[in-house]
Amino acid sequence: MSKRRKLNMRNIIKKAIQAFRDRNQPTYAHVYHPSSKIRRTAVVCISACLMFMVCGTAWSMGTDIANATDKQEHEKKMVAIIIDDMGNNMKGTEQILQLPVKITVAVMPFLPTTQQDAIEAHKRGHDVIVHLPMEPKQGKPEWLGPGAIKANMTDDEVRAKVTAAIKNVPHAIGMNNHMGSKVTSDKRIMSIVLDVCKEHGLFFVDSRTNYWSVVPELAAEKGMPPVRNDIFLDDTHTLAHVNRQITKVMEWLDKHDTCVTIGHVGVAGRYTSSALQSSVPTLKDHAKFVGISDLVRSEWGWKGNPAANTTIPSNVQ
């Protein structure tokens, strides 16, 4: 083989080895040729996908954490719905008792369905409180109902009336006032009312029918929960008004941890019960439905034990 031919052969082998090395080296980042462009595009796509997956997972984790935090917030918040004026088979009574969430029924003593309503509410898992009639500044005496507390009563008379009312409402764990714009600002009378409640293991919810009520201040002095109504649901008797008030409850819950709200059976009973029924899912997004006893135990550590206050007659069991 000539010298020149040998050199040519050596060059061909060198080039072949180099070509083989080039094929195995990951040179697409530095050397420009068509296949390296395809590889670069593939790498960009894969990187983008990976980044998207990582970011997506992080975002969804972030959303999950935010939702969980929101959920925890809502689980901490409590709404206690009290329905007044039960015990007289008024409009909306059955619908109120059938609400699918825990509420509190405030039952007036000594009325035709007092015991029946209290026992039925208790069976369905609702809280029961005594709705005690108290003298208002204005209003007809017949609106008060039997067993009412009046401003001219002696200490002993007040004590006897409150005790009898507690004994007349089965399963009662607390009390609130029916009317009472006059009596709830009377320190002498309210002090006796609260003392009797405490002796029987009951707390007292101030319905706030009077801006000058002495109840929260007296309750705090006596080591009782200063719990009071925040929003009346149906002081105007229309469905639109009740719905507006339910919106106010939700707005209140955005700023506060608890909301006590009072509605009624009677003239507005059907509006109140149907508005509450349809608002349950939305309200559930804002807070947990609790009985008023759950709220006072959780907020003020109330430990009153109202057991054995009443003997339930066999004909209504």
Residue 105 CB, shortest distance to Zn ion, in Å, is 12
Residue 112 CB, shortest distance to Zn ion, in Å, is 16
Residue 232 CB, shortest distance to Zn ion, in Å, is 11
Residue 84 CB, shortest distance to Zn ion, in Å, is 4
Residue 181 CB, shortest distance to Zn ion, in Å, is 12
DSSP 91: T
Residue 79 CB, shortest distance to Zn ion, in Å, is 20
Residue 85 CB, shortest distance to Zn ion, in Å, is 4
Both tokens of 294, joined, read: 């759950």
Inter-CA distances, 28 with 39, 255, 262, Å: 7, 60, 75
Residue 253 CB, shortest distance to Zn ion, in Å, is 24
Nearest to 129 by CA among 85, 79, 181, 187: 85
Q: Which is closer to Zn ion, CB of 96 or CB of 287? A: 96
Q: Which is closer to Zn ion, CB of 253 or CB of 271? A: 271
Q: Which is closer to Zn ion, CB of 178 or CB of 200? A: 178
Task: Give the integer Cα–Cα distance in Å for 206 and 202.
Answer: 13
Q: Which is closer to Zn ion, CB of 126 or CB of 178? A: 178
Task: Give the integer Cα–Cα distance in Å for 102 and 120.
Answer: 13
- For the chain, what is the total number of helices (H) and then of strands (E)? 10, 8
| 3-class secondary structure, 57 | helix
CA torsion sign, 54 to 56 to 60 to 66? positive
Task: Give the integer Cα–Cα distance in Å for 36 and 10.
Answer: 29
Residue 300 burial by Cβ neighbours in a 10 Å radius (0-12, 13-18, 19+): middle
Contacts of 295 (CB under 8 A, 6+ apart): 78, 80, 227, 258, 260
Determine the residue type at 28: Y
Q: Confirm if 119 and 150 have CB atoms less than 8 A apart.
A: no
Q: Which is closer to Zn ion, CB of 102 or CB of 178? A: 178
Nearest 5°: phi and psi at 41?
A: -60, -40
Q: What is the enclosing helix (H) or strand (E) of 202? A: none
Q: Which is closer to Zn ion, CB of 237 or CB of 297? A: 237
Q: Which is closer to Zn ion, CB of 84 or CB of 206? A: 84
Tell me the residue number closest to Zn ion, measured at CB.
178
Q: Which is closer to Zn ion, CB of 85 or CB of 127? A: 85
Contact positions vs Zn ion (CB under 5 A): 84-85, 178
Q: Which is closer to Zn ion, CB of 30 or CB of 140? A: 140
Residue 102 CB, shortest distance to Zn ion, in Å, is 21
Task: Give the integer Cα–Cα distance in Å for 91 and 274.
Answer: 12
Task: Give the integer Cα–Cα distance in Å for 74 and 286.
Answer: 5
